[in-house]
Amino acid sequence: MEWIEDITDDEFQSKVIERSRDVPVVVDFWAEWCGPCRVLGPTLEKLAREYEGKFILAKLDVDRNPRHAQAFGVRGIPAVIAFRAGQMAAEFSGALPETSVRQFIDSICPSEADELFESAETLPADRVAEREAAYRKALELDPTHQGAQLGLAELLVGRGETAEAEPLVANLVPGGPFAERIDKVASKLKIQESAPSESEKELRKKLEASEPRGPVLLELGKLLASKKRYPDALAALFEAAQSSPDLARGEAKELMVEIFHIIGARTPLADEYRSKLARLLY
């Protein structure tokens, strides 16, 4: 059966490590002479059939294939190690009862919320309503789901619905696989919330009569950034920084950094203004 497979040491990289990037792989380290292995093995196989592909059971005979048992520090059998995303995710040893084995499997298998999130992530960008519905359903099942919180926050910020997006963004944990997306949506939210109520025409008219110009340039930069006119926003913010050391070290610089997060920290536009800002400050 495709959900249960005997593997060798030579196949471990492809059938465990690489395959676990798509689906959890549970490796059963066993041997023919091991009595407890003959108790645990059927339990694992039963659950693999029951879960119908939510995880793959890979059985490794340690007598014939000792290399990876040694590499992963297996000192006694039966031993079970689960892999997700190419890494060890969990492990146990001994012939546990079925209820305990089931709990172990549940802990490493994608939840319904995970599956809804993954389905939303694979939908085309123009199917916004379906993506939003999937994110919201995932959050009904698991209100702390980081991926669903992030996905919904991105959609809300994109529509300018900052009030609902703010608590979602506040709950996101920096770093991890979503680090870049989290930085970007947090920066977009800050920029939208800082946008002035005055129009561009009003600000440019005020700029003509203002002295010093820095505070008005700062507000103009905020407005242009909220309209996703990032080159124009950076130009206005840098001019504001040039006009005032306080702005150069404070709000103008901070807003420029938020824009770098949005456009990509290593893009030519970000590199250009980062260099300009560094020369101005140092």
| Active site (catalytic) residues | 34, 37
Q: How many helices (H) and strands (E) does the chain have?
A: 15, 5
Instruction: Retrieve residue 57's tokens.
Output: 């059971």
**Residue 37 CB partners (closer than 8 Å, separation 6+):** 28, 30, 31, 77, 78, 95
Judge whether 27 and 19 are in contact, CB under 8 Å. no
d(CA 48, CA 196): 57
Rounded Cα gap, residues 54 and 214, in angstroms: 58
CA distance 207 to 220: 9
Residues 107 and 100 sit within 8 Å (Cβ to Cβ): no
Q: Distance from first CA to last CA of the chain, Å, rounded?
A: 65
- Cα torsion for 30, 36, 42, 48, to the nearest 10°? -60
Using alpha carbons, list the distances in angstroms from residue 214 to 107, 210, 227, 276, 279: 55, 9, 20, 17, 18
Distance set, CA 268 to CA 151, 227, 235, 273, 275 (Å): 27, 20, 14, 9, 11
